[in-house]
Structure 1
């Protein structure tokens, strides 16, 4: 039987907090009724919301703090002033072992800085990476890094591939996910030396629970041809923002086209079910929740503009990671790389 999980919640992070946060964890708990919550934030604002959710109240411990990490606070400021904030205390709960995972929809840079400072990186991991699910033609894929590391060497990319595959095994339920490095071409001779070196390591490892398929280009991200797309944080963030902007462009252009005449309005009536399906598939609330992988603890980042459904989606993903012991899986896979390299050196 899956163990019950305790979630540390930054109730003050996000554009629509704390209302969205409390409603979101209430929705998530309907799917995982054994989940417990440590809720950090302004008691005067949060308690009336919890009082409307008796079942959630019974499963929650409210910890008051008046300190909040604001959306414009720099990471360095968060490190100096945010330790007693709702965000900082949620991460501290993971460090102390009173929570299995922390979640916040607040300031991404501040969350990353506090998480790295408080939890530190795992043995064998040089830098943590931000990973998130993306909608594709075949369902969902993931990409990392999405902005935590602007520059990466080959070791970083190998570690990202291992962590991304472990994430997919726990959250998407794929036992042997396909992994590829984002590159300027699919040929082995193309790309920077760091990318080619990372490919050599991943290709040579025979005992990782993943299928390394080489390189993919940017136009393959949305096709779902691979489950894990690995890149540096600069490229990944640009690719992510480009994809989000393109999705908004397509949605807006479709809306304009269907409103342009009576005949197109009639066409919308005939196509509305398919368009609603497209909208739901592209809705970021249905794919919400980035994770900082590579730390000695799990920290989930929700979109700042997420609604309650989106926050609930992030919480359920966090529960999956904790129940499947994602950090242990990453540690085991990192050791496989070490063993393979030692065996190759001894041969």
Structure 2
């Protein structure tokens, strides 16, 4: 059986229930899981799912949990926190990946401290998928680094290019640099410097398209969009917020009168499919790319479906040998 995925089962706004339910669904789909957290609570929660005893689910004790309102820096001193125990399972080779719907800052800090960085990567980034025309656009950094150097953009472009190639079967994915205009001379001093570095990498592991604007993200103008973590996080939250509001407006419009209600019944199936595409839980969690191990960070408000999808994604990344492939790409670049 393949290596299990370690789940920080106490993390998130709702604690153990959605984590355990998602783990049970993933285990039924063939992904073995290690639940990390309060053994008694986790076994009690597992007991609520019929047939869970026969599934490939293991429980590992962690006596502490870093709450959503606590500091990420607590990771250093609280060695028995569930996120630290889960990260250590990856480091020790007992788990293929760590997944957490808990404190995102703590997850990043724990992964970085426990697993370290891939050689040649200055700072890891949060890689996320945003629903776009024809599928999705991969955006990074979605919030790990508010302050950046131009060199980070070039490293992230290379990391994301390898990721899309090996995990998503995208051959020679295109990279766009988020700016305030498509022209090469548009953007801040930092963006202009990054543009030069990306242009120099074109054809050497990066297929650089040039500058892209905010609207291009949803048009899928490029497969990958690179930006700093501050901007990327604003883009991500804006997209999720706007999708919810727009969907609310559509529902209101379809309930505004008898004709609209009849029309609403006719398009209900199509709208359900659209809602699914726009739902963040479809992708489950975002990858912290650049650390020497697989670490996935989900929404605190994640439901069981998001947890299941995050676990499936983590297993897929491990099966695709993502970390060795990323390390190889950076070794080739530095030796080439």
Specify the TM-score bucket, using the shorter chain as the normaliser: over 0.9
The answer to which of 299-308 and 46-55 deviates more is 46-55
| 2:151–2:194 Cα contact (<8 Å) kept | yes
Q: 1:94 aligns with which of 74, 90, 95?
A: 90
SS of match in other structure, 2:131 = strand
Aligned length: 335
| 2:12–2:101 Cα contact (<8 Å) kept | yes
Match of 2:257 in 1: 261
Match of 1:74 in 2: 71
Shift in CA distance, 155/53, structure 1 to aligned 2, threshold 3 Å: farther
> Is 1:128 matched with 2:162?
no
Matches within 5 A, 1:226-241: 226-241=222-237
CA distance in structure 2 between the aligned counterparts of 1:288 and 1:187, rounded to whole angstroms:
35
Q: 2:284 aligns with which of 288, 307, 314?
A: 288
Match of 1:221 in 2: 217
Match of 1:13 in 2: 11
CA distance in structure 1 between the aligned counterparts of 2:269 and 2:58, rounded to whole angstroms:
42
The answer to which of 196-205 and 13-22 deviates more is 196-205
CA distance in structure 1 between the aligned counterparts of 2:311 and 2:260, rounded to whole angstroms:
40
Shift in CA distance, 11/326, structure 1 to aligned 2, threshold 3 Å: same
| 2:28–2:55 Cα contact (<8 Å) kept | no
| 2:46–2:52 Cα contact (<8 Å) kept | no
CA distance in structure 2 between the aligned counterparts of 1:308 and 1:171, rounded to whole angstroms:
23
1:55 Cα offset (Å):
5.3
Match of 1:344 in 2: none
The answer to which of 122-131 and 323-332 deviates more is 323-332
| 1:208–1:336 Cα contact (<8 Å) kept | no
Q: 2:311 aligns with which of 315, 335, 338?
A: 315
Match of 1:338 in 2: 334
1:57 Cα offset (Å):
5.0
1:37 Cα offset (Å):
2.3
Match of 1:252 in 2: 248
CA distance in structure 1 between the aligned counterparts of 2:136 and 2:64, rounded to whole angstroms:
37
| 2:201–2:208 Cα contact (<8 Å) kept | no
> Is 1:177 matched with 2:185?
no
SS of match in other structure, 2:35 = strand
SS of match in other structure, 1:225 = coil
Unpaired runs of at least 5, structure 2: none
1:337 Cα offset (Å):
3.5
1:250 Cα offset (Å):
0.2
1:209 Cα offset (Å):
4.4
Shift in CA distance, 301/57, structure 1 to aligned 2, threshold 3 Å: farther
> Is 1:197 matched with 2:193?
yes
CA distance in structure 2 between the aligned counterparts of 1:102 and 1:41, rounded to whole angstroms:
13
1:231 Cα offset (Å):
0.4
> Is 1:50 matched with 2:46?
yes
1:244 Cα offset (Å):
1.0
1:65 Cα offset (Å):
2.3
Shift in CA distance, 199/57, structure 1 to aligned 2, threshold 3 Å: farther
CA distance in structure 1 between the aligned counterparts of 2:254 and 2:53, rounded to whole angstroms:
43
1:191-235 CA-partner distances (Å, limit 9, x unpaired): 133323333333333554442211110011111121111000011
1:18-44 CA-partner distances (Å, limit 9, x unpaired): 12112212222333x2x4322211112
| 1:133–1:288 Cα contact (<8 Å) kept | no
1:248 Cα offset (Å):
1.1
The TM-score, its normalising length taken from structure 2, stands at 0.93
Match of 2:145 in 1: 149
| 1:50–1:57 Cα contact (<8 Å) kept | no
1:159 Cα offset (Å):
0.6
CA distance in structure 2 between the aligned counterparts of 1:53 and 1:269, rounded to whole angstroms:
35
| 1:11–1:17 Cα contact (<8 Å) kept | yes
CA distance in structure 2 between the aligned counterparts of 1:57 and 1:17, rounded to whole angstroms:
23
| 1:26–1:56 Cα contact (<8 Å) kept | no
